Structure 1
């Protein structure tokens, strides 16, 4: 079971990245950038902020931090999967449901689908995958048996 402090830090970092994503996404939509492109750009920037916060605060004591390039690459790949989850929710709502029900193409509907539902599902995936693959939180080492000494 993850520690309470770890969940708090993950939530604070994620909340900050979410606010950056939300503000930037809506700013880009206001500049007439296409819906999925705006989401991709805002998520990429929010991802970098989340990586730095998680690496240097949430899981600062977890595992070996020597391979920052490897960590960032793994983090970014996992975030691409998270972005795919968010974009899928947005595309289903905006283009799928929106093709038969015009209100699903509104800015409010896009925010609910992409930032609400997509972020919630992506966050579950991200917490699990960061802990498992990027910032490994190793269990206490097993005791050595007399045969292995």
Structure 2
């Protein structure tokens, strides 16, 4: 049994919206990836910080850049009425992503001894990839929530709208 044309169209519209969201998330994430890797390598090669500490610093800088990009580009059409809660959730889920990302690097560096410059970058990149999947899900589900459309008022048989409590017609 094939879905009705309206169901197919709705599915197509939802997939199109999801594809756009993924593209915008990817654009912001791509900039964040470049910032993350640039800061990581700069700190790693110009200071005596250990690999994972340099990575954590780079991740924090990228998180700050990403928030600006997500709020003002990728999710600019989302609810803006609860910024404090939004920022709190963003930082909470970003911290979980930071642990995931740097957990991969930590395991490679201290668990397997893979701490050369190329190896560090490969495992940093791999950790970012795994953390990105978590971040995409958590940001779209909990942080940058869609505005809920106002329900249409019920109509009375003669075409007039039925009054709703607390609402002036």
TM-score relative to the length of structure 1? 0.85
Gaps of 5+ in 2: 1-14, 156-163, 165-169
Q: Which has the higher helix share?
A: 1
Q: CA deviation at 1:137?
A: 2.6
| Segments of 4+ moved more than 6 angstroms | 141-146
Q: Which runs of 5+ in 1 are unaligned?
A: 99-103
Corresponding residue of 2:137: 128
Report the count of equivalent residues: 140
Correspondence 1:1-149 to 2 at 5 A? 1=15, 2-30=17-45, 31-63=47-79, 65-98=80-113, 104-114=114-124, 116-137=125-146
Q: Matched residue of 1:32: which SS?
A: coil
| RCO comparison, higher one (Cα < 8 Å, 6+) | 1
* In 1: Cα distance, 2:83 partner to 2:49 partner: 32
CA RMSD of aligned residues (A): 2.1
What is the deviation of 1:8? 1.4
Q: Under a length normalisation based on structure 2, what TM-score does the superposition of the two structures give?
A: 0.75
Instruction: Find the structure with the greater CA-based Rg.
Output: 2
Aligned counterparts of 2:128 and 2:77: Cα–Cα separation in 1: 26
